[in-house]
Amino acid sequence: MNKLRLAYLYPDYLNLYGDRGNIICLRKRAIWHNFDFEVTRISIGDKFEPYKYDLIFMGGGQDSDQQLIYDDLINDKGERLKEAIEAGIVMLSICGGYQLMGHRYVDHSGREIKGLGILDIETIAKPGRLVGDLIFETQLPIENKVLIGFENHGGRTYLGKKAKPIGKVLVGSGNNGEDQSEGVYYKNLYGTYSHGSFLPRNPDMADYLLKLAVERKGFEWQEDNNSKFNQFVLPARKRILTKYSKLSELEL
C-alpha cells in the first residue's frame, strides 16, 4: 500500500485548541482512500528533513509556548521548511503556526518578532481577542466552498500584495476583523485561524490537501464520494450554520 508521511511540528507545544483533530482526520481519510499514513512528531532539537515527508502540520498554542519554539523554528528548521514549501510540499498551519509563516509578529508590548517570511503577511497583537464561529467562503477547487472553524486569537493578520486569502469571511473576524479575508495560501501552504477542529468539519478541504500530496508524489488519487466517510458532518455543520439566518441559503 502506498504511504503518505506527515511531519507534525512541535505537537508538545502547539496543541491548545484541539488542532490534533486535523491529524486524526487526515490519517483516517488517507486510510479510507487506501493509503498508509505515518505521523512523525518533530519538536525542539529534533532533526527535520522535510524531503522525507509529504505533508506538514503546525498548530496553534499559547504565546509563551510559541516563544519557546521560536528559536528552533527560525534558526534551525526554518530554512529547510522554506525550501520545502517552495518545492511544493503540502502544509497546513493554524493560528500561531500560521502567524509564524509571515514576515513578522508584533506583540502587545510593540516588540517585533521575525517570522519565516514564507507568506506575505504580518501580524500585530491588539487588545481584545477575536473569538467565535468563523465561517468563510473559498474559491479553492473543492466542492463545498463554505468552510467552518472556530477562531480564538489576539493577533490581527494583514495581507501584503502577494498574499492570496483562502476565503472571504461570512461570519466572524478572520485575519483581522477588517477586510473580510480569512487565511492565506502560497503554493501548497495553507494558513488559517480555524480551530474547531478545522478539517473534520470540512472534509472536502481535508481530501483536497491529501490529493495535493498524493499527486505530488506521483500516486493516483481516486475520488470517492462514499457517504460513509462523511458521517455526521452535515448535522454538525448545520448546527453552526443555522445559528446565522443570513447563511440559511448556503449549502451545508
Partner 1 sequence: MQEIFQNQKSILITGTNGKSTVAYILKEIFLKAEINVISNLQREHTKEFRANEFLEDRLVAYKSKKQTILILEIDEADFQYFAEKIQPDFIIVTNFSRNQMERYGELYTLRKNIDRGLELSPKSKIILCADDPLVAALAENRKSDCYYYGMDNFPARDSSPEIFRSTPRRANLPRHDLEDYTYGLFYREAPHCSFCGTELEYQGLAYANYGSYYCPNCQFRRPNLDLGVTALERDMNGVDYVFQNWLADRASRRRNHNSIKFNFKIPGLFNGYNAGAATLCALLFNLSLTDIITTLEQILPENGRFELLPHLPSERPICLVTASNPEAVNCALHEIMHFEDFAGLMISNDSIAGFQQDVSWLWDIFFEQMPYAGIVGVGGDYAYDLALRLFYSGVEKERMIIEQDHKKLQSKMAMTIDRPGRFYWLANKPARYSIRKLFVRDLTIEEAK
Give catalytic residues, as residue numbers.
95, 195
Q: Does 227 bind partner 1 (CB under 8 A)?
A: no
- The reply on whether position 76 binds partner 1 by CB under 8 A is no
Judged on CB neighbours under 10 Å (0-12, 13-18, 19+), 225 is: exposed
> How far is Cα 41 from Cα 99, in angstroms, rounded to an integer?
20
Cβ proximity of 93 and 110 under 8 Å:
no
Using CB under 8 A, count the residues that bind partner 1: 45
**8 A C-beta contact, residue 56 and residue 6:** yes
Does residue 75 bind partner 1 (CB under 8 A)?
Answer: no
The distance of closest approach from Cβ of residue 28 to partner 1 in the complex, given in angstroms and rounded to an integer, is 6
Does residue 43 have a cis peptide bond before it, meaning omega lies within 30 degrees of 0?
no
> For every residue of 236-249, which 3-state class applies, written as one string?
HHHHHHCCCHHHCC
- In whole angstroms, the minimum distance from the beta carbon of 27 to partner 1 comes to 6
3-state secondary structure of 211: helix
Task: From 201, 205, 177, 179, select the one nearest 191 (Cα to Cα).
Answer: 205
At 79, list the grid cell: 530554512
CB of 142 to partner 1, least distance (A): 19
Q: Give the shortest CB-190-to-partner 1 separation in angstroms.
A: 18
Binding status of residue 154 toward partner 1 by CB under 8 A: yes
Specify the residue, 12 or 178, whose C-beta has the smaller distance to partner 1.
12
Nearest to 50 by CA among 8, 79, 84, 75: 84
List binders of partner 1 among 29-68 (CB under 8 A): 38-41, 43, 62-65, 68
Site stretch for partner 1 (CB under 8 A), options 48-56, 100-108, 173-181, 232-240: 232-240
Instruction: Mark residues 186-215: x for contact with partner 1 by CB under 8 A, - for none.
Output: ---------xxx--xx--------------
Q: Write out the three cell numbers for 212.
A: 495535493
Residue 25 binds partner 1, judged by CB under 8 A: yes
Exposure b/e, 6-39, CB count within 10 A at least 16 = b: bbbbbbebbbebbbebbbebbbbbbeebebebeb
Binding partner 1 (rule: CB under 8 A), the pick from 4, 9, 27, 101 is 27
List of residues contacting partner 1 (CB under 8 A): 11-13, 15-21, 23-25, 27-28, 38-41, 43, 62-65, 68, 129, 131-133, 150, 152, 154, 195-197, 200-201, 228, 231-233, 235-236, 238-239
